[in-house]
Amino acid sequence: MTCRMSIPILILMKMRSMFEVGSLVLGIDPGTRHVGYGLIRMRKRDGEALDFGCFDIDAALPFPGRLKQIHESIRSLIQKAQPDMVAVEEVFVSQNAKTTLKLGHARGVILLAAALEGVPVAEYAPREIKQAVIGKGNASKHQMQWMIRQTFHLDSNSLAEDAADALAVALCHGLRSGAAVVTRSGGCG
C-alpha cells in the first residue's frame, strides 16, 4: 500500500516543479474528420497560447487509413512541440454508438502517439473542461469559444472550433494544475 501511494506523490511533485519553471501542455480535441490541437505554456501564475490549429483528416481514406493519419499527425506534432503533458478530451457518449466507437478509436491512436513519445497524458470529460474554463459544466460551444478567444486575446477569424476546443482542454489541465492567468503570444499552426 505504501509503494502505491508514493508513486502518485512523486508524479505530483514532478508536475508541480514543471509548473514552477513553465511547462508545455498540448491539448487535443479528438475527431475522425478534424483533430484540433492547442499548445500552451503554463507557469505558476500565467500562461500563453503558443500554437493551435486543426488536422483535416482525409475522408476518402478507409477508416484504418484515417486512424493512421491521425496517429502520424499527432506523433509528429508531439515530436516537434516536445510537450511536458498531453491533455485529451474524453469521449462524449452520443446516441449513435457507431460514432462513439469510432471516436474512441481516434482517441486510442492519439493516446498511443503520446505513449510512444513518452509523454504523460491527462484526460478530461467535456463537462469538466467546461467547468474549468467557463465555471459551469453545461456551457454551450459558443460560450466556450468566446471564453477561449477572450482568455488568449484571439481574433475570432483565426480560431477554428476544433482548435478552440483543444485550447480549452489544455487550459483545463493548466487550471487544474494550479495556473491562473493566461495570455497569448503565438499564432495559428
**pLDDT recorded at residue 45:** 52
pTM: 0.82
Provide mean pLDDT across the span 166-185.
70
115-125 confidence digits (pLDDT tens) = 999 999 999 99
Residues 6 or more apart whose Cβ sits within 8 Å of residue 176: 122, 124, 132
**pLDDT recorded at residue 48:** 87
pLDDT band at 168 (very low <50, low <70, confident <90, very high): very high
- Choose between 8 and 88: higher pLDDT: 88
pLDDT band at 159 (very low <50, low <70, confident <90, very high): confident
**pLDDT recorded at residue 89:** 95
Q: Any idea which residues carry the catalytic annotation?
A: 29, 89, 162
CA torsion sign, 136 to 142 to 145 to 151?
A: negative
74 pLDDT above the threshold of 70: yes
Domains defined along the chain, listed by start: 20-188 (3.30.420.10)
Query: For the chain, what's the residue count?
Result: 189
Roughly what angle, to the nearest 10 degrees, separates helices 141-152 and 126-133? 50
Provide mean pLDDT across the span 83-110.
90
Provide mean pLDDT across the span 145-163.
88
